[in-house]
């Protein structure tokens, strides 16, 4: 038996154990994990330094380096996230009971998904976030991170397994592929005998590869071509603040703004203000023909309006109406997060109703699409599809239902 099959088999067996642990037992594991993370900050940073040095040698982009880097503050945030998840209410158990005229009593019960496979790229915090969410919701997990973070991830795995063991349970509840080759990844995608669902987190290339090659059900997460539309009735000062936050606060993440749409009636005023602020933040602008007539920018191609840049690059387009903005977003967007800035409630409600996305906003930055910001403690990913889960995926999205039916000897 290969190492992968052995890990899958052991994790599957462990999934039956954790599914039947009490809330207190699951929380005990998380409390132990928080403690272990704080005790091992130095060893995590040392492992992360090895990955960062190798990443710089390989010429990886600044956005990838930002996602990869851990420091004391970020590790403490990870530990705090685990503590918050431990404090959340239980999502497992009976949620409804009905007695029918045919004599059946039908109870609906929330139960774990089982063994979850998480495939992700350069963000080692996913290792801890995904583990905590899976364990709290009664799931086992097998992790496959990117090769650029392998040393950090293996150190985090060691700490996670120590935490599970110290709480008195089987550490096979969490497994990780040390082999980051494409061959092993493709083998993982075929393990439908053991793995109940796959969740890829990363760019469109990774997500498309998993969707096209997996024999296991897949929840698509991550790709974010997010828009901010500044309506003709917008408060321009507010719009500028939201734009700078959405584009510049952390451009490497999936909820950052990638395209600015501006109504033609306020384009001159707004773009003249936005131009200076964006240049101060070193944002590269790519605009439509009308935009290029108003500000100095590179010409935008049709492909630019489909792109998730994950960098300080912004596509800009002037539109004739709210309807045109909606049509542009529904054609070019990735169904992640979209925002309208407007003081006209009629236009805003039309936008919120007709834009096809997991999260739509009025007068709010797209940067809020996040499990922590939504009060979930953390997230397993942001689903951009419509089946089972959509938007930030917290604990309840890692469950399914079981019907428990009882009677006094009823037959049909």
Q: What is the pLDDT of residues 71-127, one digit of tens each?
A: 999 999 999 999 999 999 999 999 999 999 999 999 999 999 999 999 998 889 999
- Per-residue pLDDT at 386: 86
- Per-residue pLDDT at 221: 81
Pick the more confident residue, 211 or 244. Answer: 244
Mean pLDDT of 271-299: 96
- Per-residue pLDDT at 252: 83
What average pLDDT is seen over the chain?
95
- Per-residue pLDDT at 284: 97
Q: Of the ranges 257-271, 272-286, 350-364, 386-400, which one carries the lowest mean pLDDT score?
A: 386-400
Is residue 376 very low, low, confident or very high in pLDDT (cuts 50, 70, 90)?
confident
Pick the more confident residue, 201 or 142. Answer: 142
- 339-369 in b/e form (b: 16+ CB < 10 A) is bbbbeeeebbebbeeebebbbbbebbbbbbb
Q: What percent of the chain has pLDDT over 70?
A: 100
- Per-residue pLDDT at 207: 87
Are the beta carbons of 18 and 169 closer than 8 angstroms? yes
226-368, CATH topology level: Aldehyde Dehydrogenase; Chain A, domain 2 (3.40.309)
- Per-residue pLDDT at 372: 81
Residue 294: closest CA among 278, 261, 265, 272:
272
Q: Which CATH architecture has domain 3-221+380-406?
A: 3-Layer(aba) Sandwich (3.40)
Are the beta carbons of 357 and 385 closer than 8 angstroms? no
Mean pLDDT of 208-223: 89
Pick the more confident residue, 148 or 2. Answer: 148
Q: In this structure, which long-range contacts are made by residues 240-245, counting pairs with CB atoms below 8 Å and at least 24 apart in sequence? A: 240/270, 240/273, 240/274, 240/277, 242/339, 242/341, 242/363, 242/364, 242/365, 243/274, 243/277, 243/278, 244/277, 244/278, 244/281, 245/365, 245/367
- Per-residue pLDDT at 223: 82
Q: Exposure of 391 by Cβ count < 10 A (0-12 exposed, 13-18 middle, 19+ buried)?
A: buried
Q: How many CB atoms lie within 10 A of CB 205?
A: 10
Task: Give the model confidence (pLDDT) of 379-410 as tens digits.
Answer: 888 898 888 889 999 999 999 999 999 999 99
Is residue 17 very low, low, confident or very high in pLDDT (cuts 50, 70, 90)?
very high
CATH 3.40.605.10 residue ranges for the chain: 3-221+380-406
CATH 3.40.309.10 residue ranges for the chain: 226-368
In the numeric block, which tokens belong to residue 170?
A: 């089987």
Is residue 51 very low, low, confident or very high in pLDDT (cuts 50, 70, 90)?
very high
Dihedral (C-alpha) 312, 316, 321, 327: value to the nearest 10 degrees? -80
Q: How far apart are CA 247 and CA 245, in angstroms?
A: 6
- Per-residue pLDDT at 362: 98
- Per-residue pLDDT at 1: 64
In the numeric block, which tokens belong to residue 412?
A: 């049909």
Q: Of the ranges 4-13, 38-47, 58-67, 305-314, which one carries the lowest mean pLDDT score?
A: 58-67
Mean pLDDT of 220-248: 95
């Amino acid at each position: 038996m290969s190492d992968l099959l052995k890990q899958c088999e052991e994790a599957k067996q462990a999934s039956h154990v954790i599914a039947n642990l009490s809330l207190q037992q699951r929380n005990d594991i998380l409390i132990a994990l928080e403690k272990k993370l704080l005790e091992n900050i130095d060893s995590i940073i040392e492992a992360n330094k090895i990955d960062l040095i190798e990443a710089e040698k390989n010429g990886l982009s600044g956005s990838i380096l930002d996602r990869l880097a851990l420091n004391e503050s970020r590790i403490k945030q990870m530990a705090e996230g685990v503590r918050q998840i431990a404090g959340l209410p239980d999502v497992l158990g009976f949620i409804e009971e009905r007695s029918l005229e045919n004599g059946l009593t039908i109870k609906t019960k929330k139960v774990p998904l089982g063994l979850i496979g998480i495939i992700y790229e350069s963000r080692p915090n996913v290792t801890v976030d995904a583990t905590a969410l899976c364990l709290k919701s009664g799931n086992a997990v097998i992790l496959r991170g990117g090769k650029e973070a392998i040393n950090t991830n293996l150190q985090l795995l060691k700490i996670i397994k120590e935490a599970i063991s110290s709480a008195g349970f089987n550490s096979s509840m969490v497994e990780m592929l040390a082999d980051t080759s494409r061959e092993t990844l493709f083998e993982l995608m075929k393990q439908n005998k053991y793995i109940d669902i796959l969740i890829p987190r990363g760019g469109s290339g990774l997500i498309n590869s998993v969707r096209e090659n997996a024999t296991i059900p897949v929840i698509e997460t991550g790709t974010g071509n997010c828009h901010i539309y500044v309506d003709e009735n917008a408060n321009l000062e507010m719009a500028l603040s939201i734009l700078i936050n959405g584009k510049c606060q952390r451009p490497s993440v999936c909820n950052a703004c990638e395209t600015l749409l501006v109504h033609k009636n306020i384009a001159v005023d707004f773009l003249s203000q936005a131009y200076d602020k964006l240049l101060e933040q070193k944002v590269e602008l790519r605009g439509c023909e009308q935009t290029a007539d108003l500000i100095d920018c590179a010409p935008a191609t049709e492909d630019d309006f489909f792109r998730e840049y994950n960098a300080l690059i912004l596509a800009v387009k002037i539109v004739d109406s709210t309807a045109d903005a909606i049509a542009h977003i529904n054609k070019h967007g990735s169904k992640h997060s979209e925002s309208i800035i407007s003081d006209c409630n009629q236009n805003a409600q039309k936008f919120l109703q007709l834009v096809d996305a997991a999260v739509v906003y009025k007068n709010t930055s797209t940067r809020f699409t996040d499990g922590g910001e939504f009060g979930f403690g953390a997230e397993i990913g942001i689903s951009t599809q419509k089946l089972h889960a959509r938007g930030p995926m917290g604990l309840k999205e890692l469950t399914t239902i079981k019907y428990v039916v009882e009677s006094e000897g009823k037959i049909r």
